[in-house]
Amino acid sequence: MMCREARIIDRAGSSLEKILKRMETIREPITITLTLDTLKYARMSGRVGTLQAALATVLNVKPIVTLQDGMLQMTERVRTRQFSLDRVIKIVKEKFGDSRLNMAVVHALDTEAAKILLEKVRMSFNLKDLITTDLSISVAANLGPGTVGIVAYPEQ
């Protein structure tokens, strides 16, 4: 989202200083909230243990991952995919309320879940800009296919 905004500002003819200042403005409030379909890939990357991943699979647990202090951290676990998508919406809503937002629905090879989340986002938020895109490969490689979530920051 930050790269996209920098490109838009650059194409509008803004100076490097203005672009950097805007990036600083975005970086502070930006939120990333994701839900994983499985812990299998997080286990393979060493982010969670084998027992934890096995229990999550048996219980149909869907972890919630949020950006905290520049690091993605598993913060919650909910049952079922539907509850996990609803929880992602609620977490972002708790942070921004009715603020006007720039938002991306991101996914790792799960366009169906992304479509469902996109519709929920449209009904739940005051949006300035909304896009759907693939999750960054570096994040997707660690969290696996089926990861879906929201990247958001307020209009300023």
Decide if 19 is inside a domain: no
> Token digits for 153?
């920051």
147 — phi, psi (to 5°)?
Answer: -75, 135
Decide if 16 is inside a domain: no
Decide if 137 is inside a domain: yes
Decide if 77 is inside a domain: yes
**For position 144, which CATH number holds?**
3.30.1180.10
pLDDT at position 54 is 41
Mean pLDDT in runs of 10 for the chain (156 residues)? 92 96 92 87 53 47 84 84 96 97 96 96 97 91 90 92
Rounded CA gap, 70 and 13, in Å? 30
Decide if 113 is inside a domain: yes
Amino acid letter, 49:
G
- ∠ Cα 35 143 109 (to 5°): 80
pLDDT at position 38 is 76
Contact 74/56 with Cβ under 8 angstroms?
no
Decide if 131 is inside a domain: yes
Decide if 22 is inside a domain: no
The β-bridge partners of 68 are 71
**Total of domains in the chain:** 1
Range of the domain at 72: 28-154
Decide if 23 is inside a domain: no
